[in-house]
């Protein structure tokens, strides 16, 4: 009922797995994608954590600049790809920059939401005991905001990966996204769909593992088991 040039049979997808896993081009593309994801995650998360904490703790700065972050969150990020491509070319740099932008925006928003979870009465008690700013941050703000911080890290990783793959689909000359585009253009739908399913499976496994780690590290919270 469906033309196999546009949608492969499940059996064809399964049979395409061994050749792809042993293909040097695919392994090189996977390494390039993981490198770009790691770089964009590190850059975007570091910037998002810093900006998120500052905006969460400084009401004046939050009122002035948080609407800009929310505007970026609601804007289709692919609009920035042509400009990024003009500045950084068709290499891995464009994918890293685009992934960093997506990571930064989502991390910032979730960190600000996490800081909002901190109980004001806990800060008042810390101030009453003359705790320094660093001790208040370490022993009150950081534990209280931990659910938002863990969510920020996961959203940063997921959106960084998405940004890198999308950039590779349209601008890059290497990486998993680039291979998906090449295979699709050459009507090698079995290989294209296999790569897509493999990437989806990796994200599902990483998300499941991260959810388990988050529950273990935040098990001390009263609402962690609810």
Over residues 21-71, the pLDDT tens digits come to 777 888 888 888 888 888 999 999 999 999 988 888 888 888 888 888 888
The rounded percent of the chain whose pLDDT value lies above 90 is 6
pTM greater than the 0.85 cutoff: no
Q: Which range among 28-32, 96-100, 195-199, 219-223 has the greatest average pLDDT?
A: 96-100
Over residues 133-160, the pLDDT tens digits come to 788 888 887 777 778 888 888 888 888 8
Between the alpha carbon of residue 125 and those of residues 13, 128, 135, 143, 203, the distances in Å are 60, 5, 12, 15, 41
Nearest to 92 by CA among 174, 199, 214, 3: 174
- b/e for 54-75, b at 16 or more Cβ within 10 A? bbbbeeeebeeebeebeebeee
Helix (H) or strand (E) holding 36, with range, is helix 24-57
């Amino acid at each position: 009922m469906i033309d196999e040039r546009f949608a492969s049979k499940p059996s064809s997808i399964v049979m395409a797995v061994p050749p792809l896993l042993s293909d040097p081009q695919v392994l090189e593309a996977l390494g390039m994608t993981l490198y770009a994801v790691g770089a964009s995650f590190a850059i975007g998360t570091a910037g998002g954590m810093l900006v998120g904490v500052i905006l969460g703790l400084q009401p004046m700065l939050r009122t002035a600049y948080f609407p800009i972050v929310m505007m970026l969150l609601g804007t289709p990020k692919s609009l920035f790809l042509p400009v990024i491509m003009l500045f950084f070319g068709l290499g891995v740099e464009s994918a890293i920059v685009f992934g960093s932008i997506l990571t930064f925006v989502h991390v910032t928003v979730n960190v600000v939401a996490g800081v909002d979870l901190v109980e004001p009465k806990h800060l008042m008690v810390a101030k009453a005991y003359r705790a320094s700013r660093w001790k208040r941050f370490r022993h009150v703000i950081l534990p209280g905001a931990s659910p938002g911080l863990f969510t920020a890290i996961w959203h940063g990783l997921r959106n960084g990966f998405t940004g890198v793959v999308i950039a590779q689909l349209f601008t890059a000359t290497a990486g998993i996204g680039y291979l998906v585009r090449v295979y699709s253009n050459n009507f090698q739908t079995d290989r294209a769909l296999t790569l897509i399913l493999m990437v989806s499976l990796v994200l599902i496994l990483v998300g499941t593992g991260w959810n388990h780690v988050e529950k273990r590290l935040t098990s001390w919270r009263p609402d962690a088991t609810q």
